[in-house]
Structure formats: structure tokens, C-alpha cells
Chain A
Amino acid sequence: MTRVRAQAALWIGRLITLLLRLVGRRGTSLPGLIASRVSPDLLFRLLSQLELCVVVTGTNGKTTTSALLYGMLSDDEYPWLTNRGGANLLQGLLGALLPYADRRGRLLVRRAVLEVDEATLPLVTNRYHPTLIVVTNVVRDQLDRYGEVDGALAMLRSGLQYPGAILLTNADDPLAASLGWERELTYYYGMDECPADEEPRNEVRDGAFCLICGRELQYERYIYGQLGYYSCFSGHFGRPAPHFGGKTDGSSELIIRERVSDHRQEEFMVDAGAPGLYNDYNVLAAAATARLLGRSPRQIQVGAEHYEAPPGRMQMFPGSPERILALIKNPTGANSVLRTLESDERDKAVCFAINDADADGRDVSWLWDIDLERFVLAARCQHYICAGTRALDMAVRLAYAGVDRQRIQISEELPEVLTMTSELDVPVYVLSTYTALYPLGEQLQEAAR
């Protein structure tokens, strides 16, 4: 019976994909959604055929890391598949696999890079064991969705429990690194050298406690958020030595030193043209994974050169004014994006599009954990615009961060972002939560034509 259902789901999914293609629509989540309703089994029947599968999970950087990694791994000889654009729940994974299944349910491409939501990871690894799992970081995200950061950590831990699971994770993040504590088959990446703060910023640091004794961790160096060089005062727990060390001077060039074994030490350069220290971490994670899977530094650099930012990850829309769209969904991610804006020395306008649907996080408390005070002083920003269902919350936040109330423009309607910024002669950064991102991306694309 389950076999029959799976076959039916496959045909239905294929049929919908075909119909959507006929009417000129691609990349929607509909085929995966409906097929997974018909048969929850189909996904696992397809997954079990994969020869190699890398899962990318964690709070921030999943989509960018997956896109980078896909570019570094896939070529004409050995094509890979991936779930582009952040469809990272079970139906999204199925939607990514479906186009590669023939009508008898055989996968034609048998290597996959899959971005997987933290809460979905245990549901996947319960029935299917990926080759390697990358955990980018574990930071405060949508509190109403997972309770709190400890909940996300517990889900990741349970998702990593199958025998033979290889883990690659971030040495500089105490919460992510704690996943590898006293664990075999674990590799770490981290920054050997990067421009970082001397003083801790006004940021939340969720991982700042020793998991064994509960004491506050000591930081020898802060990088951003809870990332840095940390250790427990009692010596229980500290930053593990990374197998892949990154070195950056703030440009998009990243030098990677590889120390997987004593007799295999290499150094190579990767440049994906992606601005921001948080993107250096994404590049480092992707390159380290590709190395663990046997790709050469040359192949990795070629892949990185062809990298294009996924929708809404510092995506540029040329025009007058130029507009740049970036996803913000939690304080650590938003601070990283704001710092990248601060390093753009031009005068600028910033629009915050804040929604509070389930996928955005219904609780907007996180807006107050963003370090906007420093941004307001440092960013040469003349125009502040607030949009989305929580535009007013953002406006109040900006007012208390020191922006003159009279200078904040407010509209709850997203399309007005275009009209409110059309007369500006400075670049417009549009920082958006998840559910506002895609509608805004379409409007900005339209306007850039």
C-alpha cells in the first residue's frame, strides 16, 4: 500500500511540475507539497537512492552556504542537485528531488546538497542517513517557533545521532562547537585571522556559558555575536582547533589553511565576491565541505567564481536608485548585514520591511536586540523607511535608537517601498524578513527592468 501511494505521489508530483512548466511557472513549492501529502514515504524512497548527500543546517547562512557548496561540487561529469532558495522543510526536499526522478521512481542524479531546517533535521535522519552534516551556527532565532535556543540545539543534537554521521561545524560558535564535544567524526572550521572587534558590541551572546559547569565563558577575542575565541574558566570547554582556518583582511578574498592531518597541510584562496564577514564563514564552510569530499582547490575556486547570491542575500538590483535586498531574520544575522552596510561609505537609504507571519517569527522582540544605535551613528544613512505588518514596531525601535521621529517614513504596504524610494538619489538597502522578501524581490526585479 505504501508503495502504491508513493508511486501515485510521484505521478501526481510529476504531473503538477509539468503543468506548471506549461503555464510558465517554475520553482514553486506546490508539487513537493502535494506529493508529500499523498505519500510521506516518497521522500525517503528517493533519498535512499542518493550516493552522496550533504545536509546544511544551522540558524544563519544555510541558503548561502548551500548555494556556494553546490557550485563547488556540481559539474558536467558529476552533476549534483540542490533545493535552491531555502525550501528546507520535508516538502521542499521532496520538491527538489522530484524533477530528477523518472516515472518509475528512479533518481537520475544521485548526489545532493540539501539545506534542511533545524527542526526538520531529526525527521530526516530518523529514516535517512546523509553522508555529512554541516551546522553553520546556532544563534537566537525565532523564539516563538522553537521556544528558545536550547530547543534548537536539542533538535540538532538528536538529528546528529545516527551511526557514522560526519559533522562539520563552526569552531568559533560555542553552541555549534558543543555539538562536536567528545564526538568522533567531527571537523571544525574557524577564522584564524579576521578584522574583529576589540570590545564586545552591544549584542546578545547565547552560547556564552560552559555546558559542563554553567559558568560564563571567557572571551579572548570577539568576532561577532557569540562567535569568537572562548574558553571556560575551569578548562572544561573551549574553542576547538579548526581543521580549516580562514584568513581575511575584510575583502572578499579568503585564504584557507587546511590542517586535516599532519601530513596534509595546504593553503588556498577562494573569492566568491560575497561581502561581509558572515559570508566569509559561509565560504569557509562550503570550501571545507568540498575539500572533505575530495574536490581540489582549483575546482573550489572555479565554483566560487560562478557564485551568484541567492534571492535576497545581498541581491543587487541596478537602476536609479540602485536597490539591494537582504534577508534579516534574527539579531545576529541583522547585525552582520548592518555592519556590511556600515562598510559601504556612500550616503544611503535603508528600508526595513518587517512582517510577523509564522515564518518571520510572530514575536518582534528581536528588533530590540539588533545594535541599531551604532548603525545610526556610523552608517551615513539619511532616509529611514519602515514597511510591513510591523512597520510601527520598527519605527519605534528606530526612534529609540536615535533617529529623528519626523524623518521616519512608515507604510504597512510593501509595494509602497518602491514609490517611497523612487525619487532618492542614493542607494537603497531593503532589509526584509522572510515573508516580505519574495514579494519585494519580484517588485524590485520588475522596477530594475
Chain B
Amino acid sequence: MTDRTVTLAHLFPELLNLYADQGNISVLRHRMHARGWTLSVTPVKLGSRVDFGSVDMVLLGGGSDREQQLVGRELAIYREDFATAIEAGLPVLAVCGGYQLLGEYYELQSGERIPGLGLLAVTTRAGKGRLIGNIAIEWVSQNGESDGKTIVGFENHAGRTFHDYAPLGRVLKGHGNNGRDHHEGLQYKGVVGTYIHGPLLPKNPHLADHLLAKALAFKGCHEPLDALDDALEWRAHRSVLGMLGVKSGEIRA
């Protein structure tokens, strides 16, 4: 194999950049680089085409309500190709607004529905008050099994999200998708949707590597990822668990 490049399409960065997506990209880039790979990031501005055939991974970040409405208007051109790629297993990381955008609509307090990409059967309604604060979840795999790994970060969303897919995990402390069913996020094939930012990946290196392994597999490369020195990342991870009063014995990194 000569081509050791993974291509990440960063969708609509001019609109969806509210929660430090550069942090997530920086983590992916460094962790690829440390394994002798290059992460090539293609920013895709709203309105320009994406060749999903040449993309190994997609990042959708979060935006403000105003910006999300702007995005909503011009999504139709992406729907078909994006949906096909997701069915084929394309890894997608969708955070906050990007997570909502994967779904069918975002319903405002007024009842008005802002259309989403309509890729997954996910709906979001604006609730009274924002769900804000540090959050910790137990990561549950798509077949419902858990080996006790945690994911930590910060959430800040007015939207309450509902779906019947596997969640990313079970809420240990915080609100999650809707503050009611103790589920956080979504997993479907290669898609990970979540409200957790902070940003998401720096303090969750296991999740970063999970996404990178999926991107490599999607590319047809099944080499295992070398372990990196993540002592600092795990200290930061554990300090958030500590703040939330979640016992760090639950982590098996």
C-alpha cells in the first residue's frame, strides 16, 4: 500500500463550527500521523458538491440556530449520495447541530419544522430550556454490549432528540438525547451522532481510534492501530468523571 491518506470531508465548516470542531479534526490528524498516515481534510462549503466515493470519513459539526436554518435550505442536493454512502458503511461523526441535521427535522417552539438531511429516522424538537453541563456516558456497542468504557464531555442543546437506533451510550451523569430516556447519541453502521462536545475527541481517545479504525476499514485497510501514549488524555478524562462523581473504576481503557 503506497497511499496512506485518509480523506475527511468536513461538511459546511463555514456554518457548523460552533463547538470547536477544529479540536476534533486536530485529534484525528495527530492520531493518524502518529501511525504513519496522513489525514487530508476537505472543507465542503454549503452548495458545493461532494464526491462521496472519494471520502473515507465525514464530520458534521454544530452551529447556531440561525446558521442551521441556512444549512437546512440547501441540503436536498446531498441526500441521495450521502444516504447510499452511509448504507455502505461510511464513517460519519455528527456532533450537536450536525447530529440533529442527520435527521428528518428540527421542530421549533413555534411548531415550524426546519428540514434536516433526512438520512436517518431521527427527529428533534426544541424543548423549554437548554440541557447544559458536563456529561458522562457508558459506551454501549451497537449490539447492546458494554465493556464499561466511558465517554465524557460537555452538552449544551435546546433540542430533544428521539430515535429507535442504538444509542451511543447510557447516561451516567447529564441529560443525553432528550433528558428522559437516559440515552445519549446514536450509532448506526458507521455513523456516530452525539450531543457531546468539549470538544468530543481530545478526552475520548478510544472513540477517536474507533472512528479512525472504521475509516481505515471502509478504505479496505484492516491493519490494527498502534497504541499511543494517552496518559494525559486519560487523566483529563478521569478528572471529568471525578467532577461528576462517577467512579473511575468503571473505565477500562
Which residues of A come within 8 Å of B, CB atoms?
A: 143-144, 147-150, 202, 204, 208-209, 214, 216, 362-369, 389, 392-393, 395-397, 399-401, 405, 408
- B235 CB-CB contact with A under 8 Å: yes
State how many angstroms separate the Cβ of A230 from the closest Cβ of chain B: 14
- Contact check, B235 vs A365: say whether CB atoms are below 8 A apart: no
Contacts of A365 in B (CB 8 A): 19-20, 23, 154, 197-199
Considering only CB atoms, which chain A residue lies closest to B70 in the complex? A214
Contacts of A397 in B (CB 8 A): 23, 202
Contacts of B45 in A (CB 8 A): 216
- B79 CB-CB contact with A under 8 Å: no
Contacts of B26 in A (CB 8 A): 368, 400-401
State how many angstroms separate the Cβ of B74 from the closest Cβ of chain A: 10
- Contact check, B236 vs A362: say whether CB atoms are below 8 A apart: no
CA of A364 to CA of B203, assembled, Å: 12
Contacts of A368 in B (CB 8 A): 20, 22-23, 26, 199, 202
- B14 CB-CB contact with A under 8 Å: yes
CA of A365 to CA of B132, assembled, Å: 13
State how many angstroms separate the Cβ of B206 from the closest Cβ of chain A: 14
For the complex of A and B, the 6 pairs showing the least CB-CB separation, nearest first, are A368-B23, A368-B20, A392-B236, A365-B20, A148-B64, A363-B154
- Contact check, B18 vs A399: say whether CB atoms are below 8 A apart: no
State how many angstroms separate the Cβ of A74 from the closest Cβ of chain B: 40
Residues A400 and B64 in contact in the complex (CB < 8 Å), given A144-B156, A363-B154, A393-B203: no
Of A204, A364, A392, A400, which is within 8 A of B154 by CB? Answer: A364
- Contact check, A208 vs B156: say whether CB atoms are below 8 A apart: no
Contacts of B235 in A (CB 8 A): 392
CA of A391 to CA of B236, assembled, Å: 9
State how many angstroms separate the Cβ of B230 from the closest Cβ of chain A: 10
- Contact check, A396 vs B236: say whether CB atoms are below 8 A apart: yes
CA of A396 to CA of B199, assembled, Å: 11
B169-188 residues with Cβ-Cβ distance < 8 A to A are none
Which residues of B come within 8 Å of A, CB atoms?
A: 14, 17-20, 22-23, 26-27, 30, 45, 64-67, 70, 130, 132-134, 154, 156, 158, 197-199, 202-203, 229, 232-233, 235-236, 239, 243
Q: Mostly helix, strand, loop or mixed at chain B's interface?
A: mixed
Contacts of B132 in A (CB 8 A): 144, 362-363
State how many angstroms separate the Cβ of A334 from the closest Cβ of chain B: 13
Residues A362 and B133 in contact in the complex (CB < 8 Å), given A208-B14, A396-B236, A400-B26: yes
CA of A365 to CA of B19, assembled, Å: 6
Considering only CB atoms, which chain B residue lies closest to A153 in the complex? B66
Q: A209-B70, A400-B27 are in contact. List 19 more A-B contacts (CB 8 A).
A: A144-B132, A144-B133, A144-B156, A148-B65, A149-B64, A150-B64, A362-B134, A363-B154, A365-B19, A368-B23, A368-B199, A369-B20, A392-B239, A393-B198, A393-B202, A393-B236, A397-B202, A400-B26, A405-B232
Considering only CB atoms, which chain B residue lies closest to A368 in the complex? B23
Contacts of A149 in B (CB 8 A): 64
Of B133, B134, B233, which is within 8 A of A396 by CB? Answer: B233
Contacts of A369 in B (CB 8 A): 20, 22-23
State how many angstroms separate the Cβ of B68 from the closest Cβ of chain A: 11
25 A–B contacts, CB within 8 A, in A order: A143-B19, A144-B133, A148-B18, A150-B64, A150-B65, A208-B14, A362-B154, A363-B154, A363-B156, A365-B197, A367-B20, A369-B22, A392-B236, A392-B239, A396-B203, A396-B232, A396-B233, A396-B236, A399-B232, A400-B23, A400-B26, A400-B27, A400-B202, A401-B26, A405-B232
- Contact check, A150 vs B66: say whether CB atoms are below 8 A apart: yes
CA of A214 to CA of B12, assembled, Å: 14
Residues A396 and B202 in contact in the complex (CB < 8 Å), given A143-B156, A144-B156, A365-B23: yes
Contacts of B239 in A (CB 8 A): 392
Considering only CB atoms, which chain A residue lies closest to B202 in the complex? A396
Contacts of A144 in B (CB 8 A): 132-133, 154, 156
Contacts of A208 in B (CB 8 A): 14
Contacts of A366 in B (CB 8 A): 20
CA of A209 to CA of B232, assembled, Å: 38
CA of A368 to CA of B19, assembled, Å: 9
CA of A139 to CA of B215, assembled, Å: 35
Contacts of B27 in A (CB 8 A): 400
- Which one of B27, B134, B203, B232 has the greatest number of beta carbons of chain A within 10 Å? B232
- Contact check, A363 vs B198: say whether CB atoms are below 8 A apart: yes
State how many angstroms separate the Cβ of B190 from the closest Cβ of chain A: 24
Contacts of B197 in A (CB 8 A): 363, 365
CA of A427 to CA of B208, assembled, Å: 37
Considering only CB atoms, which chain A residue lies closest to B233 in the complex? A396
State how many angstroms separate the Cβ of B159 from the closest Cβ of chain A: 12
State how many angstroms separate the Cβ of A402 from the closest Cβ of chain B: 9
CA of A214 to CA of B134, assembled, Å: 33
State how many angstroms separate the Cβ of B135 from the closest Cβ of chain A: 11
CA of A167 to CA of B90, assembled, Å: 51
CA of A362 to CA of B132, assembled, Å: 9
- Contact check, B199 vs A209: say whether CB atoms are below 8 A apart: no
Considering only CB atoms, which chain B residue lies closest to A401 in the complex? B26
Contacts of A408 in B (CB 8 A): 232
Contacts of B133 in A (CB 8 A): 144, 362
- Which one of A362, A368, A393 has the greatest number of beta carbons of chain B within 10 Å? A368
- Contact check, A209 vs B67: say whether CB atoms are below 8 A apart: yes
CA of A399 to CA of B20, assembled, Å: 16
CA of A39 to CA of B198, assembled, Å: 40
State how many angstroms separate the Cβ of B110 from the closest Cβ of chain A: 16
Considering only CB atoms, which chain B residue lies closest to A365 in the complex? B20
Of B17, B64, B198, which is within 8 A of A364 by CB? Answer: B198
Contacts of A150 in B (CB 8 A): 64-66
- Contact check, B130 vs A147: say whether CB atoms are below 8 A apart: yes
Contacts of B30 in A (CB 8 A): 400
Contacts of B20 in A (CB 8 A): 365-369
CA of A400 to CA of B208, assembled, Å: 14
Residues A202 and B64 in contact in the complex (CB < 8 Å), given A362-B154, A365-B154: no
CA of A134 to CA of B150, assembled, Å: 47
CA of A397 to CA of B45, assembled, Å: 27
Contacts of A393 in B (CB 8 A): 198, 202-203, 236
Contacts of A400 in B (CB 8 A): 23, 26-27, 30, 202
